[in-house]
Amino acid sequence: MPTRRPAGGGEVVLERVPQKAKPPQMYQVVMLNDDYTPMEFVVVVIQEFFGKDRETATQIMLKIHLDGKGVCGVYSRDVAATKVDQVLDAAKQAGHPLQCVSEPIE
């Protein structure tokens, strides 16, 4: 918010007062386990939409399989929503019931 202060010749000079902008709320994209979607499909989706290498994608897939869910990435709200849509579209086209959600990070 600029503040006004008089300058030498009667003119007014605006000074910029720095404001602390807080970082945007971040969201994690979480894939949920099901008993029908093939593990290989999940690995390929993680590689394709989250830019993970095969080994990392496999580790995330195993976490989803063993823990019931796994975080694929952390993004701004809009990017997270797009990632969720991409995963759900790919799963639907392939005929798999894979579920994916985004959750705000506390």
Could you tell me the two tokens for 40? 């290989």
Residue spans of beta strands (DSSP E) within the chain: 3-6, 12-15, 26-32, 69-76, 99-104
What's the whole-number mean pLDDT along residues 52-67? 98
**SS3 of 47, please?**
helix
Q: Is the model's pLDDT at 81 over the cut of 90?
A: yes
What pLDDT score does 30 carry?
A: 98
State phi, psi for 69 to the nearest 5 degrees.
-165, 160
What was the pLDDT predicted at 7? Answer: 54
Chain centre to alpha carbon of residue 95: 24
**pLDDT of 3 higher than 90:** no
Provide the 3-class DSSP secondary structure of residue 45.
Answer: helix
Query: What is the Cα–Cα distance from 40 to 58, expressed in whole angstroms?
Result: 8
**What average pLDDT does range 3-9 have in this prediction?**
56
- Summarised one tens digit per residue, pLDDT across range 13-48 is 777 777 888 888 999 999 999 999 999 999 999 999
- CA-only gyration radius of the chain, Å: 23
pTM score above 0.75: yes
